[in-house]
Amino acid sequence: MSEGLIEVRVASVADVAPKIREFRFTPVAEALPPFSPGAHVVVEMPGAGKTYRNAYSLMSDPFNPENYGIAVRLQDESRGGSVFMHTQVKEGDVLRITPPANLFAPHWAAKKHILLAGGVGITPFMSYLPEMQRRGADYELHYLFRSEQTGAYRDELKKALGERFFSYDSDAGEKCDVRALLAQGAPGTHIYICGPESLIHAVKAEAEAMGVPAGFIHYEEFAAPKPGKPFTVKVASSGQEVAVSADDSMLEALEAAGVEVTNMCRGGVCGQCVTRVLEGTPEHRDDFLSAAEKSRNDCVMPCVSRAVTDSLTLDL
Ligand code: FES
């Protein structure tokens, strides 16, 4: 994780909604690498006593990435990362980020794209839209938010997208009829969802009930690892024992102990961190392994998953 990191300078910080702060990064040395619509970076946040690492979607125009933009929602139950970004990071600071990676790219062969954003889930679509416009793609953006907390960029989106833009402010009692929305999708329409777990699950369930093929539904959620009971992870190659506290993920505890584990999304979806389990029983919390793989209990995704047993021995 520390190898290949890019140093960036915080060029600007702006509040774009009551609980959302935007950061623009410019390069410290070389130009920033190009990226594709839907890409994200992991931002390293050196807090007191703990380094946080969170994934954020890039909002800049991929065609012209003079700077990288991210937007961070202050989480009500923050594990520290969003509080760090909101209270510690200021203009001129230097941070380290990973090169961009993409787990949520548009499917350009689609006849139509329906984009569904919930709150700060608008961010990956900010990099989709310039490319959708350039390609003349058929698309709609449906933006669900609470104006007392989120709803960033809605005025400029409305102006730029016109009749392709639909907004639903739940603080004003506005609701999105997901079923009606999905029902109007002609064959070949792809649906993209980014937002809270509840929104993703609701749309997926509705789509499944309506017989929409799973391959036409795409979603991204960078959920912070949820807390759980503490346990010990044993590193088979060295015999090292690492304590995983209730609030830390297994991946974070291993990193803090100097054990490198390949990772990309840090949210249980990309599969990069998969690690063999030699002893103990994992508590699977990822969206990557199949039900059959989970039932075998012979591998685990340390970025989000934990242990049922008091210890877990990993093939590291
Ligand atoms: S880092 Fe992506 S699944 Fe663990």
Which CATH number characterizes residue 54's domain? 2.40.30.10
Listed residue (246, 17, 205) closest to 122, CA to CA = 17
Answer yes or no: do 134 and 200 share one domain: yes
How far is ligand 1, taken at its centre, from the CA of residue 274, in Å? 7
Model pLDDT, residue 1: 45
Q: Is the CB of 101 under 6 A from ligand 1?
A: no
Cα–ligand 1 centroid distance for 29 (angstroms): 29
Would the CB of 271 count as within 6 Å of ligand 1? yes
pLDDT at 166: 97
The CATH number assigned to the domain holding 156 equals 3.40.50.80
Please list the helix, strand and coil fractions of the chain in percent, rounded to the nearest 5, in that order: 25, 30, 45
Indicate which atom in ligand 1 lies nearest the CA of residue 304: 4
Question: 295 lies in a domain?
Answer: yes
Q: What is the largest CA-CA distance in the chain?
A: 61
What is the tally of structural domains in the chain?
3
Task: Locate the ligand 1 atom nearest the alpha carbon of residue 273 and give its number.
Answer: 4
Single-letter code of the amino acid located at 154: R
Same domain, yes or no: 215 and 123: yes
1 lines ligand 1 (CB under 6 A): no
- The answer to whether residues 97 and 123 belong to one domain is no
Domain coverage including residue 144: 112-220
Q: Is 152 in the pocket of ligand 1 (CB under 6 A)?
A: no
* 73 plus 118 within the same structural domain: no
Domain boundary among 193, 220, 247: 220
Pairing label, strands 20-27, 68-73: antiparallel
Query: Do 151 and 131 belong to one domain?
Result: yes
Which pLDDT belongs to residue 63? 85
- Cα(270) to centroid of ligand 1, in Å? 5
The whole-number pLDDT of residue 3 equals 59
- Asked if 109 contacts 37 with a C-beta cutoff of 8 angstroms, the reply is no
Compute the Cα dihedral for 250, 254, 259, 261 and give only its sign: positive
The span from the CA of 252 to the CA of 248, in Å, is: 6
CA distances from 169 to 74, 123, 140, 176, 240 (A): 19, 17, 17, 9, 51
Q: Write out the two tokens for 261.
A: 């584990």
**The pair of three-digit structure tokens given for residue 80, joined into one six-digit string:** 């520290």
- 278 in any annotated domain: yes
**Among the three residues 220, 248, 281, which one is the final residue of a domain in this structure?**
220
Both tokens of 169, joined, read 């402010």
Q: Residue 235's domain is classified under what CATH number?
A: 3.10.20.30
In a domain, 226, yes or no: no
Q: Find the 273 Cα to ligand 1 centroid distance in Å.
A: 5
Which mean pLDDT values do the consecutive 10-residue runs of the chain (316 residues) have?
82 97 95 94 89 93 90 84 93 96 95 96 96 95 95 96 96 93 88 92 92 91 82 97 94 94 90 96 94 96 96 97
Q: Say if 53 falls within a structural domain.
A: yes
132-165 pLDDT, tens digit each: 999 999 999 999 999 999 999 999 999 999 999 9
129/191 same-domain check: yes
Q: Do 63 and 98 fall into the same domain?
A: yes
Contacts of 295 (CB under 8 A, 6+ apart): none
Same domain? 51 vs 143: no
DSSP 124-145: HHHHHHHHHHHHT--EEEEEEE
Domain membership flag for residue 35: yes
What is the Å distance from ligand 1's center to 154 Cα? 31
Last residue of a domain, one of 220, 250, 285: 220
Beta bridge partners of 279: 313
Q: Is the CB of 266 under 6 A from ligand 1?
A: yes
Q: What is the DSSP letter of 54?
A: E
pTM: 0.89
pLDDT digits (tens, 9 = 90+) for 83-99: 999 999 999 999 999 99
Tell me the C-alpha to C-alpha distance, in Å, between residue 282 and each of 73, 164, 192, 296: 30, 45, 31, 10
Residue 77 domain flag:
yes
